[in-house]
Structure 1
Amino acid sequence: MDGKAVKAILFDLDNTLIETRQAGEVAIQKTSDFLKTTLDIDDDTVRSICGKFKQKLLHEEFDSSSGRSIDEVRVRHWEESITETLGHCPGPSLAAQCYDRWKTSRLEVLSLSPEVRDLLKLLRSSYKLLLLTNGETKTQREKVEAVGCEEFFDAVVVGGEHPEQKPFLSIFTLCFQLLGVAAQDCVMVGDSLDTDILGGVTAGVRATVWINNDGAVLDGPAKPDYSIPTVLDLPHVLAQLQ
């Protein structure tokens, strides 16, 4: 630490500012209820279908050049999950209905809490703020719109809109250029050691702050300068950096 004042903060979105993981579980439960009622199947069968969908989502590799949209890819996840469990997918629209139920429910639950909104308002009075989120363009832009967070940032950068995403240096360099600051002027805040923290360290930011909201063991390719359980504790870190 060289004692230079922080001028800007880069924030991750999912599970840093919004509870995407929690919203996903709510969406899975609502889709489970829909499947159980529609197909008249037992809880174990429903859990199998939804578990397969979550695994496909976790290991998803989306290629925009394939000619398929992210929505089409995820409808296919549901169709495959149902077929792998039941041996067939009843009705051509069932997978699409599951995807629509899951997606709509997740977006409805996602939100910036009043406390996080107040934090961002407070921080923007002293720092430049930028939202840097990995992911497919349409999916991430839908989240940004659903939670109404764009107003709190000087810029929003979605990884899917660029050749490289976090942790690559190129996207961090873009962020510094958009804000008109040097890497050493910035703090990177996020929940992923593999993307947020590693990317911040590689880019040479002033400090990295790991949001460890589930008490995970520090085990990643880069060590954060600070670790806090919630983004609401960020002012305490910033006070130490001034």
Structure 2
Amino acid sequence: MAVFFDYDDTLINTANASKAAYESVAELLKAEGQYASEVDTIIKAYRELLWSTPNDSYKVETPKKIRVKLWESSIQKCVHSKSCSVNHIRELAEKLYDMWYTTRLGAMAWIEKETVPTLLSLRKKYKLVLITNGSSVIQWEKIKKMEAQKYFDHVLVSGDEPYDKPHKSIFIKACTLCGVLPETCVMVGDNLATDILGAHNANLLASIQYTGSSKNKPSPGNLSNDSASPRFTISSITELFSVLEEIY
């Protein structure tokens, strides 16, 4: 028997940390004066560029180099009517990245105070595997920041694998590492389109959606074609004990 866990917004508060980071960036932009009216537009442009950046890009360049360029592009798109030198925009982009990065990483914490005790208790009975999407360097930085790897038997980052969740291969690899069959495993995650659909694709025994994070999630009754319905839903990680007892 094995239990697989998503990381971002299932075990750690990534959404809240990102929110704090963008708020810090907004204050920095406002302090610059000439960008005060463009703050929301610049941040929106950056977020769109960030989400559209392929994970493979981070295998070629460092996250800082890539993301400074994204901040530069965002500023240039939004303040094209202002006379700003290339050097000024570059310097500002580096400041924005440093503020965003430092604030975001510093604000990351376990999503619940019961998270670690729950993992320690579950590991006495089940094999635990962390399965997270994202570039290798970025995800491992977050994992090591929380020392999360010591609470799991195995850690799989999609950036180190051929495919992201919801492709079944990363789940099957987790099963193989644990020496168990897919039909004896359970997936716990917040995202219907990656965690829950991935569990379905890999024919796992059950999927459990965690709804305790601050992110907005589609309800099981309003699913897209790119998502699946969880067998169970929990709002606190401690609910896992009773749910797993019911499953097994």
Q: TM-score, normalised by structure 2?
A: 0.88
Counterparts in 2 of 1:120 and 1:134: CA distance versus 1, 3 Å: same
Q: Which digits, 9 at most, give the CA deviation of each residue in 1:42-69, with x for residues without a partner? A: 6442122112112222232233488333
Residue 176 of structure 1 corresponds to 175
Query: Higher mean Cα deviation, 41-50 or 57-66?
Result: 57-66
Which one of the candidate residues 1, 6, 10 is aligned to 2:4?
Answer: 10
Residue 74 of structure 1 corresponds to 67
Query: Higher mean Cα deviation, 57-66 or 103-112?
Result: 57-66
> What secondary structure, in the 3-state scheme, does the structure 2 residue paired with 1:130 have?
strand
Runs ≥4 residues deviating over 3 A: 41-44, 64-67, 213-216
C-alpha distance in 1 between matches for 2:190 and 2:151: 19
> What secondary structure, in the 3-state scheme, does the structure 1 residue paired with 2:55 have?
coil
Query: Higher mean Cα deviation, 105-114 or 230-239?
Result: 230-239
The structural deviation recorded for 1:130 is 0.5
> What secondary structure, in the 3-state scheme, does the structure 1 residue paired with 2:186 have?
strand
Which one of the candidate residues 220, 227, 234 is aligned to 1:228?
Answer: 234
C-alpha distance in 2 between matches for 1:229 and 1:216: 14
C-alpha distance in 2 between matches for 1:233 and 1:43: 45
C-alpha distance in 1 between matches for 2:99 and 2:29: 10
Give RMSD over aligned pairs: 1.8
The structural deviation recorded for 1:192 is 1.2
The structural deviation recorded for 1:122 is 1.1
8 Å Cα contact 1:189-1:211 kept in structure 2:
yes
Q: How does 1:116-155 map to 2 (within 5 A)?
A: 116-155=115-154
8 Å Cα contact 1:12-1:189 kept in structure 2:
yes
Residue 50 of structure 1 corresponds to 43
The structural deviation recorded for 1:196 is 0.7
| Matched letter for residue 74 of structure 1 | R
Q: Which digits, 9 at most, give the CA deviation of each residue in 1:7-62, with x for residues without a partner? A: 1100000111111111100000111112222x214644212211211222223223
Counterparts in 2 of 1:103 and 1:85: CA distance versus 1, 3 Å: same
C-alpha distance in 2 between matches for 1:33 and 1:174: 44
Is residue 104 of structure 1 aligned with residue 102 of structure 2?
A: yes
> What secondary structure, in the 3-state scheme, does the structure 1 residue paired with 2:166 have?
coil
Alignment coverage as a number of residue pairs: 235
Counterparts in 2 of 1:202 and 1:147: CA distance versus 1, 3 Å: same
C-alpha distance in 1 between matches for 2:16 and 2:89: 30
Is residue 86 of structure 1 aligned with residue 84 of structure 2?
A: no
> What secondary structure, in the 3-state scheme, does the structure 1 residue paired with 2:228 have?
coil
The structural deviation recorded for 1:79 is 0.6
Residue 239 of structure 1 corresponds to 245
Residue 157 of structure 1 corresponds to 156
C-alpha distance in 1 between matches for 2:96 and 2:42: 11
| Matched letter for residue 109 of structure 1 | A
Residue 217 of structure 1 corresponds to 219
Q: Report % sequence identity.
A: 34
The structural deviation recorded for 1:165 is 1.6
C-alpha distance in 1 between matches for 2:17 and 2:234: 21
